[in-house]
Amino acid sequence: MKQGTYYQPEIEGVGRKALRELQNERLRWQIRRCLTKSEFYQEKFRKAGIKASHIKTVEDLVHVPVVTKQELREEQVKHHPFGRYTVAPEREWRELDPSTGTTGTPVNTIWSAKDIEHITEVTARTMWSFGVRPGDIIQNGFSYGLWVAGMSTHYAAGHLGCFVIPIGASMTARQIDYLINPGSTVLLCTPSFALHIAENLRERGISPRGLSLRRGCFGGEGGTETKATREKIEDGLGIDAYDYYGLAEIGPTFASECTEKAGLHWAEDHFLIEVIHPETLERCAEGEMGVLVITHLTREATPMIRYWTNDYARLETAKCPCGRTHARSVGGILGRADDMVIYRGAKFYPVQVEKVVRSYRELGDEFLVELTKDEKTYADVCTVVCECRSPEMDKSLLEQHLRKDLREELLVTPEIRIEDFGTLERTTFKAKRIQDKRPKA
Ligand SMILES: [Zn+2]
C-alpha cells in the first residue's frame, strides 16, 4: 500500500489471514490477563464453565457470555466505584472517561497510558482515512468534559500535526466565527449539531462556499449515513460529510468512513467485532443485521470481553475500494435497541423516521417521536412531530404525503403533527428523538 494514502499502510492493508492470526494472539493475551487479574471475569467464566485454555481463537469466543451495560452498572454498585473489571493496577491509571449517562447511570471506564496511546493512534488513523492531513484546522465540536470523543479527537489532532480549536459542543455563534476566522477546514461534532450550525449559517446569510471548511466527521448519534441527512449536512456546510462511531465503554472514535463513503471501517487490530443475532445469540452471516458485540484486543485498564453494544449493524469483510482490508459496516449503525419503538405490533427506529422527514425540503431538520396514551381507549399513540419551514405552506397536504411515506418506511402509520419552524428544541449534544409521555405503570 502507498505511503501517504494511508496512515499505517502495513496494518490497514494487512491480509485477512494475517489479521485473524494477530487477533487470535491478542485475544489469548487478553483472556489470560482478565482471568488472572479480574474477579469479575473469573466469576463470569466460572459460571459458564470456561477456562482460559478453551479460548484459542476468535471462533472459540462464541461460547463466552456477553457483558451488558446493566451488568457493569450493577458491578459498580456492588464493588464501588469502578467494579472488578479494572485489570490494570491503580498506579497505571491515567484518565477516567465514563459513558455519557444518556441511557442511565454512567459506567466508569479507565484509560492507562498505553490505552491513551492506542486510542490516539486509532483516532488519528480514522481521521487520516477521511482526509485529515497535517496543517488542517480542526474545529472540535465534540463535547470535552466527560465525553470521551472530545479528548480522543483532540489528542489525535495534535498527533497528526493539526491546529485544533477545542470549542466543544456549544456556542453556535462562536462556532460560526471560527469557521470564518481562522477558517477551520475540518469540523467534528454530532450530526444534529452540524445541521444546527448549517441552519445558523443560512440565517446569517453566510454562504458555506466562501468558507475554508472542506470536510467533517459526525458521530455520537447515527444519521450521517442516512442519505437525506448526509446531503443536508454537505449542502448546508459545503463539505464532504463522513460517519464516525464510538462508545465510551469500548473506545471513543475507533470506526469511521473513508473517503469512499462505503461504510464504517473497524480498527480490527485493536477491536474484535462480532454481529450477533439478538435472539439466537449466534453469529450472523456476513451482511446480515444483528447487534454489535465488541472485544478489546489491546485495552489494558478496563478491557471488555464481548461487550453487548445494543447497536444494530451489518458486517462486510470484502476489501473496500479504498484498499483497506479491515471489515466495514455499510450503512453505519442501523438502529439502537434502546431506541426501538414498538407500535401496533410494528418495530421501528427513529433513524427510519429521520430518513423520511429529512427527505422533505419543506420540513426542518428537527423531529420527535412522541409516545402518549389515548385517554379513552388507553391505547398507545405514536406521533411524529416535525416543523414546516414556511408558514404559508398547506400543512394538510404535506401531512398526507408524509403519512404515506412514513407508512411505507415504518410499516405502521403514526399520527403526525407539523409545528411552526423553530418550535422544537435544538441540541448541540446528542439529540433525544423519543419522548415517552406515557404514564408509568
Ligand atoms: Zn474504505
pLDDT tens, 278-288?
A: 989 999 999 99
Return the number of other C-beta atoms located less than 10 Å from residue 372's C-beta. Answer: 15
Residues near ion ligand 1 (CB < 5 Å) are 258, 260, 320, 322, 324
What is the Å distance from ligand 1's center to 224 Cα? 16
Query: What was the pLDDT predicted at 375?
Result: 87
What is the Å distance from ligand 1's center to 425 Cα? 35
What is the Å distance from ligand 1's center to 216 Cα? 16
What is the Å distance from ligand 1's center to 265 Cα? 7
Name the band, by pLDDT with cuts 50, 70 and 90, for residue 1: low
What is the Å distance from ligand 1's center to 323 Cα? 6
Q: Which candidate, 434, 232, 197, 273, places its Cα nearest to that of 339?
A: 434
How big is the CA angle at 351 (ends 346 and 353), to the nearest 5 degrees? 65
Please check the confidence at residue 303 and state whether its pLDDT lies above 80: yes
Q: What is the pTM of this model?
A: 0.88
Residue with cell 444534529: 192
Instruction: Decide if 297 contacts 115 (C-beta within 8 A).
Output: no
- For the chain, report the end-to-end CA distance as a whole number of angstroms: 59
Name the band, by pLDDT with cuts 50, 70 and 90, for residue 99: confident
What is the Å distance from ligand 1's center to 262 Cα? 6
Q: Mean pLDDT over residues 328-342, rounded? A: 89
Q: Where are the alpha helices (DSSP H) in 13-147?
A: 16-37, 39-48, 69-78, 113-129
What is the Å distance from ligand 1's center to 257 Cα? 7
Instruction: Decide if 168 contacts 46 (C-beta within 8 A).
Output: no
Name the band, by pLDDT with cuts 50, 70 and 90, for residue 46: very high
Q: Given the DSSP bridges, would you call strands 137-140 and 163-165 parallel, antiparallel or unpaired?
A: parallel
What is the Å distance from ligand 1's center to 215 Cα? 16
What is the Å distance from ligand 1's center to 240 Cα? 15
Residue with cell 411552526: 420
What is the Å distance from ligand 1's center to 393 Cα? 42
Q: Which candidate, 153, 125, 117, places its Cα nearest to that of 1?
A: 125
Please check the confidence at residue 428 and state whether its pLDDT lies above 80: no
Query: What was the pLDDT predicted at 102?
Result: 67
What is the Å distance from ligand 1's center to 325 Cα? 8
Average pLDDT of the residues of the chain: 93
Query: What was the pLDDT predicted at 2?
Result: 57
Query: What was the pLDDT predicted at 439?
Result: 86
What is the Å distance from ligand 1's center to 115 Cα? 25
What is the Å distance from ligand 1's center to 62 Cα? 28
- SS3 at position 99: coil
What is the Å distance from ligand 1's center to 131 Cα? 12
Instruction: Decide if 341 contacts 347 (C-beta within 8 A).
Output: yes
Q: Which candidate, 354, 375, 370, places its Cα nearest to that of 414?
A: 370
Name the band, by pLDDT with cuts 50, 70 and 90, for residue 174: very high
Query: What was the pLDDT predicted at 378?
Result: 86
- Between 138-147, 182-191, 413-422, the lowest mean confidence (pLDDT) is in 138-147
Give the span between the Cα atoms of 250 and 336, in whole angstroms. Answer: 16
Name the band, by pLDDT with cuts 50, 70 and 90, for residue 337: confident
Query: What was the pLDDT predicted at 145?
Result: 81
Write phi, then psi, for 250 (nearest 5 degrees): -105, -55
Q: Mean pLDDT over residues 336-363, rounded? A: 88
Instruction: Decide if 388 contacts 363 (C-beta within 8 A).
Output: yes
The alpha carbon of residue 56 and the mean position of all alpha carbons in its chain are separated, in whole angstroms, by 30
